[in-house]
Structure 1
Amino acid sequence: MRKGNFKIKLIIGAGIVLFSLFKYYSNTEVNEFTGKKQHISMTTGEEVAIGLQSAPQMAQQHGGLYPDQNYQKLVDQVGQKLVNNSVASQTDYRYDFHLLRDPETINAFALPGGQIFITYALFAKLKNEDQLAGVLGHEIAHVVGRHSAERMAKQGLTQGLLSGVAVGFDPSTAQGAAALANIMNLSYGREDELESDELGVKFMIDANYNPVELIAVMEILKAAAGPNRNSERMSTHPDPENRIEKIKEAIEKYRK
């Protein structure tokens, strides 16, 4: 009887795994702006809706919006200049730029569909408009690259695989699968960051900003992380030194 139950569980688990793989790989398309083949299970309209719905909550988590409208106006101007002079203007996304009140967290991030944020803690460390363009260009690139939508699809795949393994196999196997899934997701995160650095350089050049200033931004982020930052192997972000080398290569590539 126990052997029969094991077989049933194994069949069910295998079915969940196969369905998850089919669902992931059947949703394949080529990003017309990056040329990258991606597995994405939502439309651009759904991305926009998710971003608009999530934006107020994200702002609240960082103390709301920064009250100085002059600073906000600068963020808007630089962001829209980058959009208007790049392929971002050809997408169906709605780009909105938000300066957050948070004076402690040095960060910038993008939600699906074009909602882009920069904290005052990072904004205050930038020395010029070109550095601000470097930060915003990188985040615009995440949107154009559809990285959030791609990551959601990958998370759906890994969750399905883990569920199938948990049903059909013993707990130790499920733990091993979870560890492998975590490593895979970290690797994908690093690839997204490097692609956004390269696209960000192109967007800066297209909008007549100095892309070398993106290297200065990397130095700011490196200093903010301090000596105790996670190794690249255990982080979703590549090591700053590796990013700087890739940025230099992108500058050479797009300045020709």
Structure 2
Amino acid sequence: MRSRAGRLVFGLIAALIAVFTYFSNTQENPVTGEKQHISMTPDQEIQLGLESAPQMAQQFGGLYPDEKVQQSVKRVGQKIVNATDVKSSPYKFDFHVLADNQTVNAFAVPGGQIFITAALLDKLTSEDQLAGVLGHEITHVVGRHSAEQIAQQQLTQGLAGAAAIATEDPNSPGRNSAIAAYVANLIGLKYGRDDEIESDQLGVRWMIESGYKPEAMIEVMEILKAAGGPNRPSEFMSSHPDPDNRIERIKEAIAKYKAK
């Protein structure tokens, strides 16, 4: 009984530390105005992105060798940055095409390094569609989604660890911690879906402000839907919302920003 009480006390202390650390680190996003629980500075995000970018590129076969293609993507990306409030952010944007011609994907790492695979680029049929992809990824950067994810993961891992300390069954070690980790992962996935919706919606805004046709974002969703095939994971178990749900939210964003 004494040992069990001690585990409960230590678990409670660990949980309180995790919660206090998370909520005590609050910053206001200079672009979106949103108050976010983030412990990293923009300079730390930029450094993390620069350090991780070569490794990320290597996982997708390195950079696409055609410099003309690279420059055309950079031109579209920088046009969006320079025509919108994104230019007031502290991040240094650069855009890269990856050599992978099998994986349909685009992603951003913290600080402004943005990537699109040759496989996805090959499926796009207009500059407007490319702008939709890049605008979405730009929002992940200025929305500080990676920094938020890191802080959220630290919180959920801290709470999961606290729960494991407090409830661990000596006769079945590891069982409760595995369950706690699974729940923590699902919480993280929900945050991911919220980030994707925000990136779609602000991506529409960046497209309109930089002179691109926002309806092309819907075309991109159709491309991604087709690329995912009929066996794509359910929305609940995926970090990305269902494409049909995303299309509806994109239509709402188009109506909202066109009315301004």
TM-score in same-fold range (> 0.5): yes
How far does residue 173 in structure 1 lie from its aligned partner after superposition?
4.2
| Unmatched 5+ stretches in structure 1 | none
1:104-183 equivalences in 2 (<5 Å): 104-170=102-168, 172-183=175-186
Verify: 1:15 aligned to 2:18, yes or no.
no
Deviation at 1:185, TM superposition (A): 1.1
Is the aligned partner of 1:208 residue 2:222? no
| Shift of residue 5, structure 1, vs aligned partner | 1.9
Q: How many angstroms does 1:166 deviate by?
A: 1.4
Question: Could you tell me the TM-score, scaled by structure 2's length?
Answer: 0.95
Q: Please list the CA deviations of residues 31-89 of structure 1 after superposition, one character each: whole Å capped at 9, or x if unmatched.
A: 23213221101000000000000000011110000000111010000000000011110
Amino acid at match of 1:48: I
The equivalent of 1:100 in structure 2 is 98
Q: Matches of 1:38 and 1:183 in 2, distance apart?
A: 20
Counterpart of 1:87? 85
Deviation at residue 252 of structure 1 after TM alignment: 0.6
Matched-pair contact (CA < 8 Å) for 2:164–2:180: no
| Equivalent residue number for residue 39 of structure 2 | 41
TM-score w.r.t. structure 1 length? 0.96
1:185 lines up with 2:183 in the alignment? no
Shift of 1:169: 1.2
Distance 2:241 2:35 in 1: 21
The aligned counterpart of 1:239 is 242
Greater CA drift, 76-85 or 177-186 = 177-186
**C-alpha deviations, 1:107-140, integer Å up to 9, x for none?**
0000001010000000000001110000000000
Deviation at 1:141, TM superposition (A): 0.6
Q: Secondary structure at the match of 1:124?
A: helix
Partner of 1:224: 227
Aligned partner of 2:67 among 64, 69, 72? 69
Distance 2:67 2:49 in 1: 23
Q: Structure 1: which amino acid aligns with 2:199?
A: S
* Cα root mean square deviation, aligned: 1.1
Of the structure 1 ranges 166-175 and 191-200, higher mean CA displacement relative to structure 2 is found in: 166-175
1:63 match: secondary structure = coil
In 1, Cα distance between equivalents of 2:64 and 2:175: 48
The partner residue of 1:198 within 192, 201, 211 is 201
Cross-structure match for 2:171 = none
Q: Percent identity?
A: 58
The 3-state SS of whatever aligns with 2:27 is strand
